[in-house]
């Protein structure tokens, strides 16, 4: 009888203990959700994925985050509650990547994927010479963050990793930017020599020497090549002379007419709808958010009445499903308003082409006209999410 009572008491205590742990985990998950909403609402640009488990009567806190501030607040919450726990959370970057926390794109275009595998979805792309933050490593893959804060995975063969000092040394070098949509870098000062690599618009290389018709350039990994002067310009000169106005937005956009649609693409080799708008704005010296659902949150709202009124050339137009029956608006497409008296806009869908909201025009786009959600103005607007390279980078005289 005594043994039965002892066993029942043990089970009761165990039940209470488990119940308390369950309540604690539930409370912590609510705190985690609040912190995630505040510090990392968009997993594409910030990570705060924390798990709470009871393993062998010990609370184990695991996961990964890129926001140390949010994690510190969570730790303070645990300590205030005098909760004993085992901390297995990785604050990225950590020792896995060592002291090489930076990288530069080392191919004309680098494919950045949702998972560390070539079969994974293409999330975005980087360009030759693009600066990246290295956050994590898994076998030959690196989790990186692009200048627009997008986080995903890249094959190590497409980048050159660097320490902070090595990156600083690279940044001190004079640079040039490739300004044609496509081209090549050659081994010698002529176009009949072997090619070092291809190159596309936005590719940045270090300048070594200037010759009659070629620039001698250096890749992030130290390779040397030659670029035709007619196809590139000194980076600082490009920034200074870049007009960044509506007419140049149209000119840059039309250089990509016919470029095929590529999910995740952000280069003249292929782009999706937001990759196209992103590339066009990069051609004008701006780094803007990656996806259409992110681009719609930046800039200044225009045409609130959805009448295609008050729009100016260069405004971004958004399309998708409007908010209805308690469901939020869903942005699935973006283009660039040109107007030109024809209600024209240019966008990437199947390929880059012109469309119109005017039903009297031959390229009237009834489908997108009927799912128009509004527009945003980027030109001339101050917004932390719209990076003007002229202001954010030191331009040498």
CA distance 307 to 317: 12
- Are 269 and 180 contained in the same domain? no
Helix intervals (H) in the chain: 2-39, 68-80, 164-171, 235-241, 246-254, 273-282, 292-295, 366-369, 389-392
Predicted TM-score of the model (pTM): 0.90
Query: Taking Cα atoms as reference points, which of 359, 361, 313, 306 lies closest to residue 336?
Result: 313
- Are 261 and 363 contained in the same domain? yes
Number of domains in the chain: 4
Task: Using DSSP, state whether 305 is helix, strand or coil.
Answer: coil
Q: What tokens does 152 get? A: 């995903």
CA distance 195 to 177: 18
Phi, psi of 201 (to 5 degrees): -50, 140
Q: Is residue 131 part of a domain?
A: yes
pLDDT of the residue at 57? 85
- Are 310 and 254 contained in the same domain? yes
**pLDDT tens digit string along 18-77?**
445 667 889 899 999 999 999 999 999 999 999 999 998 889 999 999 999 999 999 998
Q: Is residue 190 part of a domain?
A: yes
- Are 301 and 383 contained in the same domain? yes
Contact 189, 226 (CB under 8 A): yes
Q: Is residue 8 part of a domain?
A: no
pLDDT of the residue at 4? 45
Average pLDDT of the chain is 92
Phi, psi of 116 (to 5 degrees): -75, 70
Q: Is residue 23 part of a domain?
A: yes
pLDDT tens, the chain, 397 aa long: 544 444 433 333 333 344 456 678 898 999 999 999 999 999 999 999 999 999 988 899 999 999 999 999 999 989 888 888 999 999 999 999 999 999 999 999 999 999 999 999 999 999 999 999 999 999 999 999 999 999 999 999 999 999 999 999 999 999 999 999 999 999 999 999 999 999 999 999 999 999 999 999 999 999 999 999 999 999 999 999 888 899 999 999 999 999 999 999 999 999 999 999 999 999 999 999 999 999 999 999 999 999 999 999 999 999 999 999 989 999 999 999 999 999 999 999 999 999 999 999 999 999 999 999 999 999 999 999 999 998 865 544 3
Helices 2-39 + 68-80 axis angle, to 10: 150
- Are 309 and 209 contained in the same domain? no
349: domain CATH number?
Answer: 3.90.1720.10
Half-sphere exposure of 226 (CA within 13 A, CB side): 15
Query: Taking Cα atoms as reference points, which of 319, 335, 308, 336 lies closest to residue 373?
Result: 319
126: domain CATH number?
Answer: 2.30.30.40
Q: What tokens does 238 get? A: 């490009």
Identify any residues that bridge with 387 across adjacent strands, giving them in sequence order: 287
Pairing of strands 109-113, 151-155: antiparallel
pLDDT of the residue at 391? 84
Burial of 27 (C-beta count, 10 Å sphere; 0-12/13-18/19+): middle
pLDDT of the residue at 397? 39
80: domain CATH number?
Answer: 3.30.1340.30
- Are 263 and 371 contained in the same domain? yes
pLDDT of the residue at 396? 43
Q: Is residue 351 part of a domain?
A: yes
Q: Is residue 12 part of a domain?
A: no
Give the C-alpha distances (Å, rounded to integers) separating 243 from 284, 285, 378, 379: 7, 9, 14, 11
Q: Residue 147: which domain range?
A: 96-170
pLDDT of the residue at 82? 86
Query: Taking Cα atoms as reference points, which of 100, 88, 197 lies closest to residue 142?
Result: 100
pLDDT of the residue at 99? 96
Residues recorded for the chain: 397
Give the C-alpha distances (Å, rounded to integers) separating 145 from 133, 254, 269: 5, 29, 22
Phi, psi of 361 (to 5 degrees): -90, 150
CA distance 318 to 312: 14
- Are 142 and 46 contained in the same domain? no
Residues 6 or more apart in contact with residue 269 via CB below 8 angstroms: 108, 109, 182, 200, 259, 262
Domain boundary among 200, 217, 241: 241
pLDDT of the residue at 24? 82
Helix intervals (H) in 255-338: 273-282, 292-295
Domain boundary among 149, 170, 191: 170
- Are 187 and 306 contained in the same domain? no
Domain boundary among 91, 118, 152: 91
- Are 264 and 385 contained in the same domain? yes
- Are 56 and 29 contained in the same domain? yes
CA distance 27 to 19: 12
- Are 254 and 382 contained in the same domain? yes
- Are 222 and 272 contained in the same domain? no
């Amino acid at each position: 009888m005594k043994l039965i009572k002892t066993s029942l008491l043990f089970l009761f205590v165990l039940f209470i203990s488990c119940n308390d742990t369950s309540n604690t985990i539930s409370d912590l998950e609510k705190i985690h959700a609040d912190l995630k909403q505040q510090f990392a609402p968009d997993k594409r640009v910030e990570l705060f994925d924390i798990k709470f488990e009871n393993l062998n009567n010990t609370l184990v806190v695991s996961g990964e985050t890129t926001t140390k501030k949010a994690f510190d607040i969570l730790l303070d919450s645990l300590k205030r509650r005098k909760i004993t726990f085992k901390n297995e959370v990785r604050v990225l970057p950590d020792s896995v990547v060592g002291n090489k926390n930076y990288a530069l794109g080392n191919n004309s275009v680098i494919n950045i994927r949702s998972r560390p595998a070539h079969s994974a979805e293409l999330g975005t792309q980087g360009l030759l010479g693009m600066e990246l933050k290295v956050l994590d490593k898994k076998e030959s893959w690196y989790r990186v963050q692009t200048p627009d804060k997008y986080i995903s995975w890249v094959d190590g063969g497409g980048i050159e990793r660097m320490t902070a000092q090595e990156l600083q040394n690279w940044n001190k070098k004079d640079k040039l930017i490739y300004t044609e949509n496509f081209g090549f870098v050659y081994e010698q000062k002529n176009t009949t020599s072997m090619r070092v690599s291809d190159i596309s618009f936005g590719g940045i290389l270090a300048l070594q020497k200037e010759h009659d018709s070629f620039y001698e350039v250096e890749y992030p990994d130290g390779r040397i090549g030659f670029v035709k002067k007619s196809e590139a310009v000194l980076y600082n000169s490009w920034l200074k002379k870049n007009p960044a106005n509506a007419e140049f937005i149209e000119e840059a956009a039309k250089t990509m007419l016919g470029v095929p649609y590529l999910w995740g693409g952000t280069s003249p080799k292929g782009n999706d709808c937001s990759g196209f708008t992103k590339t066009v704005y990069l051609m004008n010296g701006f780094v803007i958010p990656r996806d259409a659902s992110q681009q719609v949150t930046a800039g200044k709202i225009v045409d609130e009445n959805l009448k295609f009124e008050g729009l100016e050339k260069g405004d971004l137009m958004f399309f998708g499903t409007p908010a209805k029956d308690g469901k939020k608006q869903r942005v699935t497409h973006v283009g660039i308003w040109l107007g030109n008296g024809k209600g024209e806009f240019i966008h990437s869908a199947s390929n880059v082409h012109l469309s119109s909201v005017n039903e009297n025009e031959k390229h009237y786009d009834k489908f997108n006209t009927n799912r128009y959600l509004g527009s945003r103005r980027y030109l001339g607007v101050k917004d932390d999410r719209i990076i003007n390279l002229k202001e954010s980078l030191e331009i040498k005289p």
